Amino acid sequence: QVQLVESGGGLVQAGGSLRLSCAASRTIFSINTIGWYRQAPGKQRELVALIIGGGSTNYADSVKGRFTISRDNANNTVYLQMNSLKPEDTAVYYCYAIYRTFGSWGQGTQVTVSS
């Protein structure tokens, strides 16, 4: 399996930006899929953005054009740059990875966007 540690959450005003980081215990190249999900209070966990296989990306419609997922292979880290944040982006953000056939979750980081 792979261990994932998120950082970078916090409180920001609407329209602001945050960058989340996810440090993986294995090289990014060895991980099939890695990315971000989020869960708001009272709601189901939902996909935010993923890097799949050789590097293709997949975004939720609600974040397209505002969020960018990227990876730093040298540091085994995946980032989520979040711009033009909205109050509805408030949630706990979780890093997720599939290594071979096993899925792993990070502990989550809180993002709160005030109006």
Structure confidence by residue, pLDDT tens digits, 58-92: 999 999 999 999 999 899 999 999 999 999 999 99
Q: What is the pLDDT of residue 3?
A: 96
pLDDT score of 100 more than 80? yes
What is the average pLDDT value for the chain, to the nearest integer? 95
% of the chain beyond a pLDDT of 70: 100
Average pLDDT of the segment spanning 23-46: 93
Structure confidence by residue, pLDDT tens digits, 34-44: 999 999 999 99
> Rounded to an integer, what distance in angstroms lies between the CA atom of residue 48 and that of residue 59?
6
Q: What is the pLDDT of residue 84?
A: 98
For residue 24, what are its two tokens?
């993986």
- Spacing of C-alpha 74 from chain mean position: 18
**How does DSSP assign 38-64, residue by residue?**
EE-TTS--EEEEEEETTTEEEE-TTTT
Residue 93 near residue 48, CB atoms below 8 Å: yes
Nearby residues of 80 by Cβ (< 8 Å), 6 or more positions away: 19, 20, 22, 35, 36, 48, 49, 67, 68, 69, 93
Q: Identity (one letter) of the amino acid at 23? A: A
